Amino acid sequence: MVTIGAERSAFEAIADPTRRKILDLVRAREMRAGDLAARFTVSRPAIAKHVRVLREAGLLRERREATQRFYTLEPKALESVDRWLAPYRLFWASRLMDLKHVVEEAAKTRTK
Amino acid sequence: MVTIGAERSAFEAIADPTRRKILDLVRAREMRAGDLAARFTVSRPAIAKHVRVLREAGLLRERREATQRFYTLEPKALESVDRWLAPYRLFWASRLMDLKHVVEEAAKTRTK
DNA sequence: GCCTATCGTAACCAAATGGTTACGATAGGC
DNA sequence: GCCTATCGTAACCATTTGGTTACGATAGGC
């Protein structure tokens, strides 16, 4: 298998708050590069670099029309993150069980 | 409000694959610093630094016993990430709806 | 008291990151 | 043909990151 261009993990991509905000914007509606840049205080090239990182992580889809570039969220964006996170949700659930157990024991003691 | 020690985001913390693996290990069972280090090829101080990042992000809990240090997963670890991720799950769901619609249209056309 | 085991921290280094300004490519209006 | 608008990329820079080796602190065994 030949990889064209740089690979990059979604985890790295979402580490930066600016990039998370870009994703949040693009999730709502398709946006042009300029529209995105206008939402931030940093320069347009800085945003272009963030967008590149997001594309290399497979999170953004690019559509060109004349000189303009439109960005949309890749349909399965962040599923890899979600998959990794899933066992942690089970962990929280088990923690809640523990709490439930503690509460029930306390109730039993009280009604004894 | 006075911040003791460095603040750090959970998103930065999980950007590194070694740190994600540390979390995965600690989620299963409490581990000593040395136990953790033994699981990786990098040096012990390198692991100590990763552990510090994870603690600063509020993901790890430390317990000391003599000269040993035991680490466990903080009960609510990564909930902030999960909260940020939640709208993306809705996004996937709506994408699935779209797909369902496409499939149903195709079925209708076929049976016409 | 001394040795050993278990650690974090300091100091240092190469590479990656996130920002900037300057420039080039491309398409549309006139 | 020329100007303008919309962009990405190149070159550069300061800071952060992830790794190393060397060292110090602390507690238990004998």
pLDDT at B6: 72
Q: Is A43 on the interface with B (CB under 8 A)?
A: no
Q: CA B48: distance to chain centroid? A: 18
Over range B17-31, report the average pLDDT. Answer: 98
> What's the pLDDT tens digit per position in B34-53?
999 999 999 999 999 999 99
Q: What is the distance in angstroms measured between the alpha-carbon CA of A68 and the sugar C1' of D3?
A: 18
Domain boundaries, chain B: 10-73, 78-112
Pick the more confident residue, B112 or A91.
A91
Distance separating alpha carbons of residues A61 and A72, to the nearest angstrom: 5
* CB of A68 within 7 Å of some strand D atom: yes
CATH architecture of A10-73: Orthogonal Bundle (1.10)
Per-residue pLDDT band for A25 (boundaries 50, 70, 90) equals very high
> What's the pLDDT tens digit per position in A46-66?
999 999 999 999 999 999 999
The single-letter code of the amino acid at B25 is L
Q: Is A78 on the interface with B (CB under 8 A)?
A: yes
- pLDDT above 70: percentage of residues in chain B: 82
Q: Report which residue is nearest nucleotide D20 when distances run from CA to C1'.
A: B43
| Block residue for tokens 């953790």 | B36
Which nucleotide comes closest to A16 if you measure CA to C1'? C18
b/e burial code for range B33-64 (CB count within 10 A of at least 16 → b): beebbeeeeeeeeebeebbebbbbbbbbbeee
Q: In angstroms, what separates the C-alpha of A112 from chain B's closest C-alpha? A: 31
pLDDT at B54: 98
How many CB atoms sit inside 10 A of residue B69's CB? 16
pLDDT at A73: 98
* Number of helices followed by number of strands (H, E) in chain B: 5, 3
